[in-house]
Amino acid sequence: MSTSEAIIDAAPLHERITAIMEDLRDEYRQAHDAPWIIGFSGGKDSTLLAQLVFEMLLDLPPRARTRQVHLVANDTLVESPIIARHLDAVLERIGEAVQPLRLPVTVARTVPHTEQTFWVNLIGRGYPSPSRMFRWCTDRMKIAPTANYVREQVDAAGRVIMLLGVRAAESAQRAVSVSKYRNNGERLNPHNSLQGCMVFKPIVELETDEVWQFLLQNAPPWGGTHRELVTMYRNAAGGECPLVTDKEEAPSCGTKSSRFGCWTCTVVEKDRSAEAFVDAGHDNLEPLLEMRDWLKLIRDDNTKRSARRRNGNFNFVGEGRLIPGPFTLEARREILERLLSVQDEVGFELISTDEIEAIHRHWVSDTMKDADR
């Protein structure tokens, strides 16, 4: 491609970015003082959004940077280790840059309550590995922690504006989700389920190629480069699982497409993203991939499932077909033993001491309930 052709191709993107920046600036300088909350997953779209907000703030004189901005990342505690390390590094870099840049930005991370983590639900309560029919993980590990953070800010300020880096071009499902927040061309639309929260989607019209073009041509204002992000996507052969704040958006978590997110995800048939990481040389992820596959396999093994549900009832469907309940205590002990073995093998924490203690409390409680029946 010639230089003149490259300039012609770049012009529309420049115009689009300029329009987005003007939109961000205009909304930021509105008379109300509702804080902004940026949903940040560390993926390409939320990274682009965060960068545009930072650059917009830096273009303003310090005295005009009056609205507080919260950059909020959700950690399910079972994120793919490569993604988790990337997110940790980026959040640390952003956090260190905020004060020297004189930006009114708070960096926050939400995590599920110990009683609602993946392992406490699966090994402690015996919930079967998540499936499309019973995807209990998204609400407990992703939606609830971030929704609680948003509610806290609403309680403090009266109203908040949530900025989401979602794009209509990302997928057909995302296009449907985006359309729900469009109200006669209004910039802000009420969140589906969070009272006092307005949704702002500044980059919704950008194409994927445009996102990458901007990131490759513009270093982040918090320092470093986007090289690690590009490499991560290339190795994963997929996209990120986005921050989710509403049950109607949950299908984006665990879709058929190749996305990287929780290494324990058994909603997908195959974790092609993790397989791609292993093929790219991340051999330390192979035990995690094998554990995930095993968790999916035993979900359908009725010998490892109780006949009764946790409430003590039997669940029959159709012409008397029994739907099995939670994993048996024996199966749960087997899962924990295998998980701890994998943890020793990979050399980093997969389950915390607090989670193990909570699991043992549930085992004692379930043993007492079984004895009373």
Report which residue type is found at 8. Answer: I
Which architecture characterizes domain 3-259 according to CATH? Answer: 3-Layer(aba) Sandwich (3.40)
Domain regions of the chain by residue span:
3-259, 274-372
Provide the token pair at 232: 């991560």
**Closest Cα partner for 214 from 260, 165, 176, 253?**
165
290: left (phi over 0), alpha (psi -120 to 50) or beta: alpha
State the DSSP string of 310-344: TTS---EETTTEEPP-SBPHHHHHHHHHHHHHHHH
DSSP letter at 31 equals S
**CB-based contact 308:302 (threshold 8 Å):** no
Q: Which of 128-137, 298-307, 313-322 has the lowest mean pLDDT?
A: 313-322
Report which residue type is found at 201. Answer: K
- 315-328 average pLDDT score: 77
Q: Which of 9-23, 83-97, 154-168 has the lowest mean pLDDT?
A: 9-23
Q: What is the pTM of this model?
A: 0.86
- 293-308 average pLDDT score: 93
How many Å apart are CA 303 and CA 188, to the nearest integer?
A: 51
Determine the pLDDT at residue 277: 82
Q: Has residue 241 got a pLDDT over 60? A: no
CA atoms within 13 A on the CB side of 211: 25
Q: Has residue 239 got a pLDDT over 60? A: no
Secondary structure of residue 312 in the 3-state scheme: coil
Per-residue model confidence as pLDDT tens digits over 9-27 = 455 899 999 999 999 999 9
Q: Which residue has the tokens 């024996």?
A: 330
How many Å apart are CA 252 and CA 180, to the nearest integer?
A: 15
Secondary structure of residue 163 in the 3-state scheme: strand
Per-residue model confidence as pLDDT tens digits over 190-201 = 999 999 999 999
How many Å apart are CA 245 and CA 146, to the nearest integer?
A: 7
Residue of higher predicted confidence among 205 and 238: 205
Q: Which of 6-15, 26-35, 39-48 has the lowest mean pLDDT?
A: 6-15
Q: Has residue 347 got a pLDDT over 80? A: yes
**CB-based contact 276:236 (threshold 8 Å):** yes
Backbone φ, ψ for residue 240 (5° rounding): -85, 155
pLDDT band at 4 (very low <50, low <70, confident <90, very high): very low
